[in-house]
Structure 1
Amino acid sequence: MATQDAPVGSVQTTVTIIQALRDLESTGVSELADHLDLPTSTVFDHLRTLETNGFVVSDGDGYRIGTRFLEIGGYARKQDPVYKVAEPEIQKVAHQTGEHANLVIEEFGKGVFYAKAEGEDAFQLDTHVGKQVHLSTTSAGKAILAEFTDEEIHAILDEHGLPEITEHTITDRDRLFEEIAECRERGFATDDEERIPGVRCVGAAITDDDGDVLGAVSVSGPKSGMQDERFHDAIPDLVLRTANVIEVNMKYR
């Protein structure tokens, strides 16, 4: 779990502009300046610098995020041994279940979708590689939290909170810790429409020989197809087995 130091002002402004472009998609300089309550000249200077370096693109109607971020993120992921080992296993799980299979890691107290695969029966979800989510709202995230100490979990919750994403989202710390305790006992966590209505997920953590958490693997599918024995036994068994295979393969990579 990474920590954050005090930011450099100009760099923080650039990051804030990039994040706003992500949220607003394509937007003009004045609109962006108003949104951020920054001088138009400041926003324009930062955008021009980002554009010169290929990180944003001017599309005629405004500025948008450029694919340079994809290049850098792809390079970072390709160098990560967890991704190299886990990605083919994620593909196998998607093929076996027909659903969405995911590799999620933790960075700065958030869950990041690191790899995804879709089975033949998978339906459209809002997830994409690089998407950040609150750890408390997903099965993979809760499985990762279960590998942290209670003090570390409280620190994450102090920073990011327990926002209500759906009517089923856990927003109470005591209830979250009850689920974390269950996950620690049985080895897997579940998500019952807690981030996306109508979707259930099962996730299990991936750890190394020192007990440090490397990420988690999960399977997501429609509630109608994730019922009874499949949701409570078959998918958990497969997810646990996949996490174990990844852990073993990490030793001999």
Structure 2
Amino acid sequence: MTIIGMAKSDNTAAPRTLKTVTRSVDIINLLMELDRARLTEIADHVNMSKSTTYTYLKSLEKSGLISRTQNQYRLSANMLVYGGYVRNNNILYEIGKPEIDALATETGQYSHLVIEEHGRGINLYKAKGEEAVGDDYQIAKFQQRDYLHITASGKAILAYLPEERVREILNTHGLPSRTEETITDRDELFNELDDIRERGFAYNDEEEIEGFRAVGAPIRDRNGTILGSLSVSAPISIFKDERFYDEIPELVVNVANIIEVNINMSHRSSEITE
């Protein structure tokens, strides 16, 4: 087994990685994409022999991360334990959840609470309003990592990250197109991020899905560090221009501000009791 370490001649060199860990994660990601698969299919996808792949699968199965039924492998329900722990220990989820619920109720649409990790958007929580549409897409979206430049919540996060970090994300993930309206030019994106900082919120005008709009706002701590964002989305027929450009942005920014204040008050309260 390869031992993780640093190159002795260069203190700035990136740490080497364990191939066993990387390949195990590749298998986990593959099963999340395929839902379930047989040994041969998994081996073909990860480009390993069946015997080596079988060893990985048995190790993951023994660890409780995957399970096998009728010679098909899938992710184990134990994954819910890890995911639940991560989410429930996130202060943005703890404090933001009731506000996202209220936002979905008031607008009648889907509302999301989003964080950034490894350059992609993770949906920390979503709430459905009574008039919301697109249930299948929203369910799938909750299980995926979004490109930040295609969503209102993602652009709201990008706008308040350090520019060096934004460039790093773009170098890693690029600017793939989702619709004809998706921003795929770096200069155009940076101009858009300037506009977002100036007005305090982000638009998604058919950039993710044709005929769909969203408004997102950043959520920051008292030092201005971006914690995540929130958004609300709906078809154009519901988010018509006046509502999309005036009413919804004001509502979204107000909710983001409430979450920020509650988080800051929570931090202050902890400092007082220490």
**TM-score when scaled to structure 1?**
0.95
Distance in 1, Cα, partners of 2:265 & 2:198: 28
CA contact (8 A) 1:199 1:220 kept: yes
Distance, in Å, in 2 between the alignment partners of 1:217 and 1:202 is 8
How far did residue 166 of structure 1 move? 2.0
Match 2:220 to one of 198, 207, 214: 207
Partner of 1:127: 138
Aligned residue among 203, 206, 212 for 1:190 = 203
Q: Which residue of 1 aligns with 2:44?
A: 34
Partner of 1:97: 107
Q: Deviations over 1:47-75 (max 9, x none)?
A: 11212222112122511112211211111
Q: Which runs of 5+ in 1 are unaligned?
A: none
Q: Deviating runs (4+, > 6 A) in structure 1?
A: none
Distance 1:167 1:5, change over 3 A: farther
Within the candidate set 144, 152, 158, 2:165 is matched to 152
Q: Secondary structure at the match of 1:114?
A: strand
* AA of the residue aligned to 2:52: T
Percent identity, please: 43
Equivalent in the alignment of 1:8: 18
Question: Does the CA contact (< 8 Å) of 1:113 and 1:127 recur in 2?
Answer: no
1:74 aligns with 2:87: no
- Find the counterpart in structure 2 of residue 138 from structure 1: 151
Q: Distance in 2 between matches of 1:201 and 1:98?
A: 13
Contact 1:26-1:61 within 8 A present in 2 as well: no
1:130 deviates by 4.8
- 1:108 is aligned to 118
What SS does structure 2 have at the residue aligned with 1:252?
A: helix
Residue identity opposite 1:22 in structure 2 = M
After superposition, the Cα gap between the structure-2 partners of 1:6 and 1:88, relative to the gap in structure 1 and judged at 3 Å, is farther
Give the conservation status (yes or no) of the 8 Å contact 1:114–1:130. no
Task: State which of 8, 18, 23 in structure 1 corresponds to 2:33.
Answer: 23
Q: Root-mean-square deviation (CA), in Å?
A: 1.4
> Residue 157 of structure 1 aligns to a residue in which SS?
helix
- Residues 97-153 of structure 1, C-alpha deviation per residue, up to 9 Å, x if partnerless? 000000000101111000100000011242344531011010000000000122221
| DSSP 3-state at the match of 1:104 | strand
Shift of 1:188: 0.4
Residue 24 of structure 2: SS of its match in structure 1? helix
* Number of residue pairs the alignment of both structures matches: 250
Provide the rounded CA distance (Å) in 1 between the counterparts of 2:229 and 2:15. Answer: 27
Separation in 1, partners of 2:36, 2:117: 27
Gaps of 5+ in 2: 1-13, 267-274
- Is 2:57 the counterpart of 1:47? yes
Pick from 195, 217, 227 the counterpart of residue 230 of structure 2. 217
Q: Which residue of 1 aligns with 2:269?
A: none
